[in-house]
C-alpha cells in the first residue's frame, strides 16, 4: 500500500480563497475589513519569519493588518498596555501575541489579558472552556488542531462515527484541543503520551492517528494500522550530514517513508499541517469579526 499524500499547501490555499471571499463580503456589509494585529517581542529569527508570513497573508486576504514589533527589552507593563489598546480598538478583530516571549515576561498573564473575543490563537481559558463544553460555534479554536481537522475531513468526511482516533501528545496547544474536536465529530478518542504503556500497540488501534509529541520520527511504520489516516503535527530540525557539513532537514514526529507503506493517507513534513496553521489563523480572524458583529459564523473546508 502506498498512502495518499495529503497536500496541506493545496488545502491551505482553498481555505485562504474562502477567507478572502468572506472577508470581502464582510467589508461590504460592515464598511470595514476584518482586522488582525500581530505582536512580536524581541528578535527571534523563526518568530520574525512567522510574523512576516502572517502579516502577508492577512494583507492578501484583504484584512486591516497591523504588525507591532517591540524590542526584547520591552517591559511586561508596556506589552500589557499595547494589548489593552488593541482590545479597545473596534477595528481589530484578532490579536495574536507571537510566542515565545522574552524571559521576564509572564506569558500566561499576557495571554490572559487578550480579549477572548479577539483571541485568534484560541489559548484563552474562556475559549478553551467553550471548546471543552462543545460550544464550538462560539469558541475560537487553536489554529493547528482546527487545520488538522480540516485535513482529516478532506479524507474521511465530516463524521468520524465508529472511528478510533489516537492523539499522541497532550499539550494545551495541539493534543487536548484536537481530542475535543475529534470527540465532537463522534470519534472514539484516546490521548496517549510518552508515559503510555505499550504506546506502539495503542497507536496500532487508530483509524486516525495524530502525532503531536515533538520527537523526531518517534512513530514508526509498524505502529500504523493498515489504511489509517496519519496527521503529523511535528516539525523537528535534525542533522543532515548527507547534504553537507552542518546541514539540517525538517522531519515530523512520524517516520513518514515507513508509515506511508501502511497508511491510507498521511501528511508530509514539510507541506502538511504547517500551511494550515496560518490559513486557520486567517479563518479565525474572519470568524471573530463575524461573531463580534453578531453575524452568522462562516465555515471553511479544504
Residues 6+ apart with CB under 8 A from 35: 63, 64, 65, 66, 89, 91, 92, 93, 94, 285, 289
Are 147 and 260 in the same domain?
A: yes
Of 54, 118, 176, 225, the catalytic one is: 54
Of 7, 18, 93, 98, the catalytic one is: 98
Query: Does 219 reside within a domain?
Result: yes
Are 155 and 257 in the same domain?
A: yes
CATH number for the domain harbouring residue 104: 3.40.50.10860
Are 102 and 222 in the same domain?
A: no
Query: Does 302 reside within a domain?
Result: no
What's the structural domain count of the chain? 2
Mean pLDDT for all residues in the chain: 96
User: What are the pLDDT digits (tens) for 157-173?
Assistant: 999 999 999 999 999 99
The span from the CA of 99 to the CA of 145, in Å, is: 17
Query: Does 204 reside within a domain?
Result: yes
Are 150 and 271 in the same domain?
A: yes
Query: Does 162 reside within a domain?
Result: yes
> Based on C-alpha coordinates, what's the Rg of the chain?
19
Query: Does 234 reside within a domain?
Result: yes
Query: Does 136 reside within a domain?
Result: no
Are 167 and 244 in the same domain?
A: yes
CATH number for the domain harbouring residue 208: 3.40.50.720
Query: Does 45 reside within a domain?
Result: yes
Are 188 and 75 in the same domain?
A: no
Are 110 and 172 in the same domain?
A: no
The span from the CA of 167 to the CA of 87, in Å, is: 34
Q: Is 54 a catalytic residue?
A: yes
- Domain termination residue (choose one: 96, 115, 134): 115
Positions of the chain with pLDDT under 70: 1
Are 260 and 148 in the same domain?
A: yes
Q: Is 121 a catalytic residue?
A: yes
Among candidate residues 236, 229, 189, the one with its CA nearest the CA of residue 212? 236
Helix (H, G, I), strand (E, B) or coil at 213: coil
User: What are the pLDDT digits (tens) for 86-145?
Assistant: 999 999 999 999 999 999 999 999 999 999 999 999 999 999 999 999 999 999 999 999
Query: Does 197 reside within a domain?
Result: yes
Q: Is 225 a catalytic residue?
A: no
What pLDDT does 1 receive?
63
Of 7, 115, 119, 121, the catalytic one is: 121
What pLDDT does 268 receive?
97
Reported residue count of the chain is: 302
Domain that holds residue 87: 30-115
Amino acid at each position: 500500500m502506498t498512502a495518499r499524500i495529503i497536500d496541506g499547501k493545496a488545502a491551505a490555499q482553498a481555505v485562504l480563497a474562502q477567507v478572502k471571499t468572506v472577508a470581502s463580503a464582510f467589508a461590504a456589509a460592515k464598511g470595514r475589513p476584518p482586522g488582525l494585529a500581530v505582536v512580536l517581542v524581541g528578535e527571534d529569527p523563526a518568530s520574525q519569519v512567522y510574523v512576516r508570513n502572517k502579516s502577508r497573508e492577512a494583507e492578501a486576504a484583504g484584512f486591516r493588518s497591523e504588525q507591532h514589533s517591540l524590542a526584547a527589552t520591552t517591559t511586561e507593563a508596556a506589552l500589557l498596555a499595547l494589548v489593552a489598546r488593541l482590545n479597545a480598538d473596534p477595528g481589530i478583530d484578532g490579536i495574536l501575541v507571537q510566542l515565545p516571549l522574552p524571559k521576564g515576561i509572564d506569558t500566561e498573564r499576557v495571554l490572559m489579558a487578550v480579549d477572548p473575543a479577539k483571541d485568534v490563537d484560541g489559548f484563552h481559558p474562556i475559549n478553551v472552556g467553550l471548546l471543552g463544553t462543545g460550544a464550538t460555534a462560539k469558541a475560537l479554536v487553536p489554529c493547528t488542531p482546527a487545520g488538522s481537522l480540516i485535513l482529516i475531513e478532506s479524507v474521511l468526511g465530516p463524521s468520524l462515527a465508529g472511528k478510533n482516533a489516537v492523539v499522541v501528545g497532550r499539550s494545551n496547544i495541539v493534543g487536548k484541543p484536537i481530542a475535543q474536536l475529534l470527540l465532537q465529530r463522534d470519534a472514539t478518542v484516546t490521548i496517549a503520551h510518552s508515559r503510555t504503556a505499550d504506546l506502539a500497540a495503542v497507536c496500532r488501534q487508530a483509524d486516525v492517528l495524530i502525532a503531536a509529541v515533538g520527537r523526531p520520527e518517534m512513530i514508526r511504520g509498524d505502529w500504523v494500522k493498515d489504511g489509517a489516516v496519519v496527521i503529523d503535527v511535528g516539525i523537528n530540525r535534525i542533522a543532515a550530514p548527507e547534504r553537507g557539513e552542518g546541514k539540517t532537514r525538517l522531519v515530523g514526529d512520524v517516520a513518514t517513508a515507513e508509515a506511508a507503506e501502511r497508511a491510507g493517507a498521511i501528511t508530509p513534513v514539510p507541506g502538511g499541517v504547517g500551511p494550515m496553521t496560518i490559513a486557520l489563523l486567517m479563518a479565525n480572524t474572519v470568524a471573530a469579526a463575524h461573531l463580534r458583529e453578531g453575524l452568522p459564523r462562516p465555515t471553511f473546508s479544504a
